[in-house]
Amino acid sequence: MCCPMKRYDSTNKSKQWITSEVRDASIKLKNLYWLHRILETRDSLRQYRTFKLTYRVLINNAKRKFNDKILSNSTNINRSVWKIVNGETGRKKNTMNKITLSMGEDECSEPGKVANAFGEYFSKVAARSLEEHYGGSLSRSCTSSKMRNENFFFLPVMGNEILSTIKGLKNKKCTGTDYMTARILKHVAALVSEHLAHLINLSIASGRFPSVLKVATVIPVHKKNDPNIISNYRPVSILSVFSKVIEKIVFDRVNNYLNKYKIISNNQHGFRAGRSTQTAAVSLVGYVHECLDAGLHVAGFFFDQSRAFDCLMFGFILDKLYNLGFRGIFHDWLGSFIGGRSVVVRVQNGLSGNYGSTLGVPQGSVLGPLLFLLFINDLPEQVKAERIIIFADDTSFAISAPSHEELSSRCKVLLTDYIEWCRKNSLLLNLDKTECIYFSTNSLHRDVLSFVYDDVILTSKPHTRFLGIYVDSRLRWCDHVDQLCRRLNSAYYAIYRIKKSLPVDTLLSVYYGLFYAHMDYNIILWGNSVDVGRVFLSQKRVVRLMFNLGPRESCKKSFVDKNMLTAPSLYIFRCLLYIRENECSLPRLADSHRYLTRYGDLMALPKHRSSRFESSPLYQGRKLYNHLPPEVRSLPYPLFKIKIRKQLLRKGYYSVGEFLGDRFDI
């Protein structure tokens, strides 16, 4: 009654920047063009071309005034900026107003029937995939960690904790089946916080999760290939905002318990504070550099799992949680949370019926990713390898051996053990998308690794994609730089299209969103490679475009004046931050003796045989860190980060050597 649903059709708002002056100029330009077609004289052509330039300037000024007005009146500047950018560059959201599916020999586009078809497919596809993959050999028991002596205890929830949790919710417009948004809940948070706290405590004490919050609204989103085939869609689940409040409270308590007893494996880098794709990639690449420098043969396996979150069996999840210390009434609550769930598919204005789910962790939930991490937490105990890197459902292994024959033998054992672990836990391993790399420093290296399993031939390749970066067998990063430059060129084109329609300050926001974000991603790995100069050239090219610089004019003044980090400065910045974040685990010079020396607090550079090892992120990071004055190294992390950034912005270094040859300003 207080918040009634209202539907309205949005009108076409394109080209609202057109003014009466622009319309008059457009008519005049058409008349001049018509006059030139009749006269075909030099004077008529000159008049047409001159006024055409005037007309273009008029359009750009009208667009800029209109966009400035939108940004000045906007309550969400970032959203308004990206709406303008997407409109100017022709970027469209990946949404489909009408979905047509192939059902047998016929095609259906009626929203209700299409929604039911999706509901039937999404609710059964995981079970069907397991049946097709394993058949009658599906495991009845799973692997698990050793039984822990600790027990998890849920502390009661207070009203002020609920209030802070509600205030921390994002103001998203998407709603579950109750049509309640986070914005509405925030308006009444002070009135309902005590009541919600009582309900949550009652839910935990009874070991039951509210059934009304187990229904998820699913929106099918097209992934790729033919949009008429139902398997080319993925479900996006939207849960009630009340469910998210309960899950956030439970998540904080469970996460504190896991961190206190260090239960989650150190090999896991996904969905964890202080861990990221950067820490995962540095762990793998650093190990490969060490092995290659020691003269060992190294291989990397990059496994791909299909529907990893959807195929988990409820019984297996609860068994593993019990061993990790979640017992008693809270164990019953977890069973109630993951079981008895259903989905309602929404296609346009059509809704499907309720379709139950018997597998997987709840999609779109706060606790779902954490439950998955706990499910696969025993992997390092069951499958042995020199280096294991896990990022959510992406699992990678690195193996080394003194000879090619021994390396091949170890790889076969690893492959067999991991496939068996997946079978025991009813996980789907996609061997067709699994990659293997045989690392080497020799450009004439021709040896390959080849394995056969279930009629699938797995052969080592020269490069592969790993967590968004392209790793090659020689760690030269040429393939990654090639892919990155393509993206940077696309960003350059987008900035070129919108340059005349936006002020410089807004254009910088677009630069950081379209260009800088791609350049910054895992630059600690490839920022010292041979081809990094190509990325820096692309950056200077876009800077010249934004600030109207000549082709031979220096960009350093623009970098300094606009507080923009150059590509080499960004690499130095990320390396220094990584070393500072992990300095406790890195050896210092004072650790090798008992004497109090002048340089004892410096990082100890690892001994190595090859010059290639010096390009590894840990070596370069420690070398750059040792260049800092003691006064800077002793600063607290927040001040250290600010001090380093100010120095790099003030100097605008064009190379790592320029930084090492310069004196740091204290």
Rounded Cα gap, residues 449 and 456, in angstroms: 14
Name which of 210-224, 517-531, 581-595, 624-638 the model is least confident about.
581-595
Q: How many CB atoms lie within 10 A of CB 597?
A: 10
Which pLDDT belongs to residue 12?
46
- Cα within 13 Å of Cα(320), Cβ side: 25
Which pLDDT belongs to residue 355?
93
Which range has the top average pLDDT, 14-28, 132-146, 163-177, 478-492? 478-492
Average pLDDT value for residue range 184-194: 94
Rounded Cα gap, residues 411 and 398, in angstroms: 9
Q: What is the mean pLDDT of the chain?
A: 90
Which pLDDT belongs to residue 506?
83
Question: Residue 470 is encoded by which pair of tokens?
Answer: 């392209």
Name which of 342-351, 366-375, 383-392, 501-510 the model is least confident about.
501-510
Share of the chain above pLDDT 70, in %: 97
Which pLDDT belongs to residue 68?
81
Rounded to a whole number of angstroms, the CA Rg of the chain reads 29
Which pLDDT belongs to residue 94?
52
- pLDDT band, very low/low/confident/very high, at 329 (cuts 50, 70, 90): very high
Q: Are 437 and 473 in contact (CB under 8 A)?
A: yes
Digit-coded pLDDT (tens) for 560-580: 999 999 999 999 999 999 999
Reply yes or no on whether the pLDDT at 136 is more than 80: no
Digit-coded pLDDT (tens) for 513-533: 889 999 999 999 999 999 999
Question: Residue 37 is encoded by which pair of tokens?
Answer: 């077609």
Which pLDDT belongs to residue 400?
94
SS3 106: strand
How many Å separate Cα 120 from the centre of its chain?
30
Rounded Cα gap, residues 287 and 389, in angstroms: 11
Question: Residue 407 is encoded by which pair of tokens?
Answer: 């390396």
Rounded Cα gap, residues 369 and 393, in angstroms: 10
Rounded Cα gap, residues 192 and 162, in angstroms: 9
Query: Which among 66, 81, 72, 69 has a CA at the least distance from the CA of 14?
Result: 66
Question: Residue 157 is encoded by which pair of tokens?
Answer: 């929830």
Which pLDDT belongs to residue 623?
95
Distances (CA, A) of 301 to 37, 77, 387, 428, 436: 67, 44, 11, 16, 5
Reply yes or no on whether the pLDDT at 590 is more than 50: yes
Average pLDDT value for residue range 14-28: 88
Q: Are 301 and 414 in contact (CB under 8 A)?
A: yes
Rounded Cα gap, residues 411 and 441, in angstroms: 20
Digit-coded pLDDT (tens) for 434-450: 999 999 887 656 678 88
Share of the chain above pLDDT 90, in %: 70
Task: Provide the 8-state DSSP code for 548.
Answer: T
Q: Which residue type is seen at 455?
A: D
Which pLDDT belongs to residue 443?
63
- The reported pTM is 0.89
Adjacent-strand bridge partners of 357: 341
Rounded Cα gap, residues 441 and 295, in angstroms: 10
Q: Sign of dihedral through CA atoms 145, 150, 151, 156?
A: negative
Reply yes or no on whether the pLDDT at 22 is more than 50: yes
